[in-house]
Chains A and B, each alone.
Chain A
Amino acid sequence: MRYGFYIGTCLFLIIVQTTVLTYFSIFAGMYDLLIPFVVFISICLPLRESLPFVIILGLVLDNISGSPFGLHLTFYFWLLAGVRWIIKFLRVSNKFLLSLVLVSAVLIQNILIIGTFGFAVPGWQLPAAALKNIALQIFWASITGPLFLFCLLAISKRFGIQFNGSAPPPKAYG
C-alpha cells in the first residue's frame, strides 16, 4: 500500500511534468516537481528504503531527459543526504523552514545544471534567458512547492505513514 502510494505519486508527477503541463504556457518555467517528492520521502522513509527509491527515480529521469546522464541521480542523491542531515536540527512541522529547504533545493538543482553546461563548454557564459528561467522556477517553487509538500505530508499522515526516527512525530501540518 505504502510503496504503491510512493510509486503512483512518483509516476503521476513525471507524467504531469512531461505531458499535461506542457499544454499550458503559464507553466513554461515550472521547477522539477519531483523535488518536493524527494524531500518528502527523505523525511518519511528510512534510509534503506528511500535510497534505492531515489536512485531509481534519478535513473528514470536521466533516461527521459536530455540532461547529461547522472545529473538527476546526483541531485536527488545529495538532496536526500542533505535533507536527512538537516532534519536532525530542523522541526519537520516548521512550515517556513521546510519551504526554505525546498526553494533552496530548486536553486541548487539549477546551479548544478549550469555547472554541467560549464563542464561541457569551457568559458560558457550565463545568458540572460538562464536567469529568467531560474527566477521563474524559484517563483513557482515558493508558491506551489510548500503547498505540494504539505499535501503529501498530510496524505501520508492520513495513511498512517510514520516519520523516520530522526524527526519528531507528526504534529499538525495543515
Chain B
Amino acid sequence: MVLIVGVIVLIIVNVILLSITSKRQSTFGLGRVGLSFVAPFQELITRSVRFSRGVWQHYFFLVSVAHENETLKNSINQFIEKDNERHEIELANTRLRNLLNFQKTPTNPVVAAEVIGKDPSGWFKTVIIDKGRSDGLQKGLPVVLPTGIAGQVIEVSGHYAKVMLIIDRNSAVDALVQRSRARGIIKGALADECRFEYVLRKHDVQMGDTVIASGLDGVYPKGLRIGRISELNERSSNIFYEITVTPFVDYEKLEEVLVILHPKQQPFESQQ
C-alpha cells in the first residue's frame, strides 16, 4: 500500500516538474556539465568523419566532377554578369546614402563555429558547436549562415555551446514579408519547415515571397533572410493566414555557422 502511494506521489511530482520545465527552457545551471563532458568526444568523431569523407570525395569519388565543373563554369559566367549589376547598384546606393547623409551600417563581429553534434532526439532541433564562453559567446546570440538565419545560442559552456535552430518547436522569430512588409512570427514546426503565424489576411502575401527578420525580437538583426513562402492557405475562416515557410538554410547539412557577437538592437520606435 505504502509502495503504491509512493509511486503515485512520485508520478505526480514528476509530471508537475516536467510541466514546469517544458514551459521554461531552463536546465537550472546543469546544462554546461553534460555539454562539457560529451562535446569533446563529439568534436573528435565529427572531425574524423569529415576528414574521411573529405578524403573520399577529393581523391576517390571524382567521376561526376568533370561534368560538375562544366556546369559551374557556366554558372560563374552568369554570376559575373550579375555581380557587375550588383556593383553598379551598390555604387548608386552609396551615392544616394551620402546624398541623404545616412550613416554606414556597422558590421557586427562574428565568430565562425563548426557543428560537432546534433540533438539525440528527432523531436528537438538543436546542434552543438565548437565555440563557447572563451570565444565570447553568450546565451541569446544569433547564429546565421550566408544563406539565412540558423538559430540562437541557448546554452554555453567554456568551449562549446548549444544552438536552438529556428525549425525547433520552441523557436520564434519576429519576421516580415520582404516585398509587402507584412509582419508575423516564424515558429518552428516538427518537419524541417516553419510556420509563419499572426500575419493578417488584409496584407498582401504571395507564394514564393521571401521572409526576413524584422529585428523587433531583440535577437536577430533586421534584414537577415529566413526562407520562402512555400504554402499559403487563404481559405481558412481565421483572421490570420496559414503560411508555411521553407527556410533557405539546409539544416540537414549544417556544418559551419557564424555567431553574431554583438547584434545591433533594433529600437521599436524606428519601425513605426
Binding site for B on A (CB under 8 A): 11, 14-15, 17-20, 22-23, 25, 28-30, 32, 34, 59-71, 74, 78, 110, 113, 115-117, 119-120, 127, 129-130, 133, 137
Among the listed stretches B79-87, B115-123, B221-229, B235-243, which one makes contact with chain A, having 4 or more residues with CB under 8 Å of it? B115-123
Contacts A68-B18, A69-B21, A129-B189 aside, 15 further interface pairs with beta carbons under 8 A come to A14-B38, A19-B116, A32-B120, A32-B121, A60-B37, A61-B34, A64-B38, A64-B119, A65-B119, A70-B21, A71-B18, A71-B21, A119-B19, A129-B191, A133-B123
Contact stretch, chosen from B45-53, B59-67, B103-111, B211-219: B45-53
Among candidates A17, A20, A30, A133, residue contacting B49 with C-beta atoms closer than 8 Å: A20
Q: What is the predominant secondary structure among interface residues of chain A facing chain B?
A: helix
Contact B120 A61 (CB under 8 A): yes
Q: Which of B109-158 contact A (CB under 8 A)?
A: 116-126, 128, 154-155
Q: Would you give 6 A-B contacts (Cβ < 8 Å), ordered by A?
A: A23-B53, A60-B38, A64-B35, A64-B38, A65-B126, A66-B162
Tell me if B's interface is mostly helix, strand, loop or mixed.
mixed
Q: Mark B18-55, 1 if CB is under 8 A from A, else 0.
A: 11011101111011111101110110011001000100
Asked if B168 lies at the interface with its beta carbon under 8 angstroms from chain A, I say yes
CA distance A159 to B44 in the complex (A): 29
Q: Does chain A have a CB within 8 A of B252? A: yes
Q: Please give the number of chain B residues whose Cβ is less than 8 angstroms from any Cβ of chain A in the complex.
A: 49
**Within the complex, what minimum Cβ distance (angstroms) separates A77 from chain B?**
8
Given A64-B120, A69-B27, A119-B23, decide whether A19 and B45 contact each other with a Cβ distance below 8 A. Answer: yes
Would you call B190 an interface residue if the criterion is a C-beta within 8 Å of the partner chain's C-beta atoms?
yes
Of all chain B residues, the one with the shortest Cβ separation from A67 is B124
**Does B189 contact A63, Cβ atoms closer than 8 Å?**
no
Asked if A67 and B121 sit within 8 Å, CB to CB, the answer is yes
Q: Which of B21, B42, B53, B123 contacts A15 (CB 8 A)?
A: B42
In the bound complex, do residue A127 and residue B27 qualify as a contact, i.e. CB atoms below 8 Å apart?
no
Within 8 Å CB of A60, what residues of B? 34, 37-38
- CB neighbours of A64 from chain B (8 A): 34-35, 38-39, 117, 119-120, 128, 162
Residues of A within 8 A of B121 (CB): 32, 65-67, 113
- Please give, as numbers and ranges, the residues of chain A lying within 8 Å of B249 by CB-CB distance: none
User: Would B21 and A11 count as touching, CB distance under 8 A?
Assistant: no
Q: Which of A25, A29, A65, A119 contacts B252 (CB 8 A)?
A: A25
Give chain B's interface residues, CB within 8 Å of chain A: 14, 17-19, 21-23, 25-28, 30-35, 37-39, 41-42, 45-46, 49, 53, 116-126, 128, 154-155, 162, 164, 168-170, 189-191, 252
CB distance from A40 to the nearest CB of B (A): 18
Q: What's the Cα separation between A116 and B33 when bound, in Å?
A: 23
B21 and A18 contact, CB distance less than 8 A: no
CA distance A107 to B169 in the complex (A): 20
| Bound Cα distance from A110 to B170, whole angstroms | 17
A19 near B49: Cβ-Cβ < 8 Å? yes
Known contacts being A18-B119, A19-B117, A127-B190, is A66 close to B21, with CB within 8 Å? no
Looking at the assembled complex, report how far the CB atom of B70 sits from the nearest CB atom of chain A, in whole angstroms.
Answer: 27
Given contacts A64-B128, A129-B189, contact A69 B30 (CB under 8 A): yes
| Chain A residues, CB < 8 A from B26 | 69
Q: Please measure, in the bound complex, the distance between the C-alpha atom of A11 and the C-alpha atom of B169, giving whole angstroms.
A: 27
- Cβ B190 vs Cβ A130 within 8 A: yes
In Å, the complex CA distance between A34 and B38 comes to: 15
Of A66, A113, A129, which is in contact with the most chain B CB atoms at under 10 Å from its CB? Answer: A66
Q: A18-B42, A120-B22, A137-B122 are in contact. Are A70 and B190 (CB under 8 A)?
A: no
